[in-house]
Structure 1
Amino acid sequence: MNAPSAMSASSLFDLHDRTAVVTGAMGLLGKEHCRALASAGARIVATDLDTGSALSFAEELRARGASGVLMMDADVTSPESLLALRDAALEQFGALDVLVNNAAIDDKVELPATALEESRFEQYALRRWRRALDVNVTGVFLASQILGTEMAKAGRGSIVNVASTYGVVAPDQALYRTPQGEQTFFKSPVYPTSKGAVLSFTRYLAAYWGDAGVRVNALSPGGVQNGQDAHFVASYSSRTLLGRMARPDDYRGALLFLASDASAYVTGTNLIVDGGWTAK
Structure 2
Amino acid sequence: MKDTLFDVSGKVVVITGGLGQIGAEFVKEFHSRGSKVAVLSRSATQEKAEKALGKELVSSDTIALFSVNITKKASINEALQSIAKLWGAPDVLINNAGIDTQPSAPPEVSGPFELFPEEVFREVVDTNLIGTFLMTQSVGAMMVEANKGGSIINIGSIYGMVSPVQDIYAYKKEQTGVAFIKPVAYCAAKSGIYNLTRYCATYWGKAGIRVNTFTPSGVWRETQDETFQKNYCARMPIGRMAQADEYNGSMIFLASDASKYMTGSNLVVDGGWTAW
Task: Encode CA deviations 1:33-90: one digit per residue, 9 max, x unaligned.
Answer: 1112112211000011111223563744379xx7711101001011100110110000
Match of 2:226 among 221, 227, 230: 230
CA distance in 1, matches of 2:218, 2:72: 29
Matches within 5 A, 1:247-258: 247-258=243-254
Deviation at 1:95, TM superposition (A): 2.3
Structure 1 equivalent of residue 127 of structure 2: 135
Which of 233-242 and 186-195 deviates more?
Answer: 233-242
2:256 and 2:55 map into 1 onto residues whose CA distance is 23
**Which residue number corresponds to residue 20 of structure 2?**
27
| Residue 156, structure 1, aligned to residue 149, structure 2 | yes
Distance in 2 separating the partners of 1:190 and 1:144 = 21
Match of 1:75 in 2: 69
1:1-280 alignment runs, 5 A limit: 8=3, 11-52=4-45, 53-55=48-50, 57=53, 59-61=55-57, 68-108=62-102, 112=106, 114=107, 118-153=110-145, 154-178=147-171, 184-226=179-221, 227-280=223-276
- Per the alignment, do residues 118 and 219 of structure 1 end up closer, same or farther by CA in structure 2, a change over 3 Å counting? closer
Stretch of structure 1 that moved more, 103-112 or 239-248 = 103-112
> Does the 8 Å CA contact 2:50/2:58 hold for their aligned counterparts?
no
Flag structure 2 segments of 5+ consecutive residues without an equivalent. Answer: none
- Deviation, structure 1 residue 110: 6.6
Rounded Cα–Cα distance in structure 2 between residues aligned with 1:22 and 1:99 = 6
Structure 2 CA distance for aligned equivalents of residues 60 and 247 of structure 1: 23
TM-score where L is the length of structure 1? 0.89
State percent identity of aligned pairs.
37
**Paired residues of 2:76 and 2:135 also in contact (CA < 8 A):** yes
The DSSP-based 3-state class of the residue aligned with 1:76 is: coil
Structure 1 counterpart of 2:85, which letter?
E
Q: Partner amino acid for 1:160? A: I
Separation in structure 1 between the aligned mates of residue 245 and residue 54 of structure 2, nearest angstrom: 18
Q: CA–CA distance in 1 between the matches of 2:150 and 2:186?
A: 28
Matched positions, count: 269
- Residue 3 of structure 1 corresponds to none
CA contact (8 A) 2:215 2:267 kept: yes
CA distance in 2, matches of 1:128, 1:62: 33
Instruction: Give the letter aligned to residue 238 of structure 2.
Output: L
Using the TM superposition, give the Cα deviation of residue 119 of structure 1 relative to its aligned residue in structure 2, in angstroms.
2.3
- Distance in 1, Cα, partners of 2:90 & 2:251: 17
Q: What is the distance in 1 between the residues matched to 2:268 and 2:124?
A: 22
Q: Secondary structure at the match of 1:249?
A: coil
The residue type equivalent to 2:31 in the other structure is: A
